Amino acid sequence: MQILLSEQQIQKRVAEMAADIRRDFPDDVHLIAVLKGAFIFLSDLVRQMSGKVSLDFMAVSSYAKGTTTSGEVRMMKDLDFGLDGRNVVIVEDIVDSGLTLNYLQEILRARNPKSLRTACLLSKPTRRRVDVPVEYVGFTIEDRFVVGYGLDYAEQYRNLPYIGVVS
Ligand code: IMP
Ligand code: MG
């Protein structure tokens, strides 16, 4: 396993992202984590934020075949709470083609949040197939399939504390 981003690099950047989100929403913010990939990112992010913050979870399947996405997105688990009038930040592990995020933003915007932003730990801009806004980006990376820190390959490697490239 080749290490792309070390545990220290990730922790430092996640703390900065938490500060950015808190600065933009000092009074209250509602974080929505996209399962399963974002679970570790969310848990580190939220522990770096003081003050009021609430959480919800949703799961989508992007019908991934191997390491590429098919472009179809399906909701597997919906939110527990409504978004009406809330300051909402979607928390995602990675934006690749952007199709998953584009779908999520469309359906969540329809639920009438006061604001809707997105935080992604990783972004692969050269892979984008749809132009989707991401206000908080942790790291911009090249077109390589990465694992660890919540990200999987065939459900493995989510437990790594760093981001690596499978050889
Ligand atoms: P998109 O719809 O193509 O942007 O794909 C987003 C989803 O594909 C992410 O939420 C991940 O679950 C998965 N994905 C994309 N690239 C990678 C990667 O390099 N490693 C692991 N999962 C990835
Ligand atoms: Mg994901």
**pLDDT tens-digit map of 130-144:** 999 999 999 999 999
Is residue 56's pLDDT more than 60? Answer: yes
State in Å: Cα 11 to ligand 2 middle: 19
pLDDT tens digits, 72-110:
788 999 999 999 999 999 999 999 999 999 999 999 999
- Please state the rounded mean pLDDT for residues 114-128: 97
Average pLDDT, the chain: 94
Residues 6+ apart with CB under 8 A from 106: none
| Residue 113 backbone phi and psi in degrees, to 5 | -70, 160
Q: Which two tokens stand for residue 88?
A: 């909402």
- Ligand 1 site, CB within 6 A: 37, 62, 64, 69, 92-101, 145-147, 151
Is residue 121's pLDDT more than 60? Answer: yes
Residues 120 and 141: their CA atoms lie apart, in Å, by 12
> Which parts of the chain fold into alpha helices (H)?
7-24, 39-47, 99-109
Shortest-distance ligand to the CA of residue 99: 1
Shortest-distance ligand to the CA of residue 104: 1
pLDDT: which is higher, 72 or 6: 6
Q: Are 134 and 118 in contact (CB under 8 A)?
A: yes
Is residue 157's pLDDT more than 70? Answer: yes
Which atom of ligand 1 is the closest one to the Cα of 151? Answer: 21
State in Å: Cα 6 to ligand 2 middle: 20
- Which is the catalytic residue, given 27, 80, 96, 152? 96
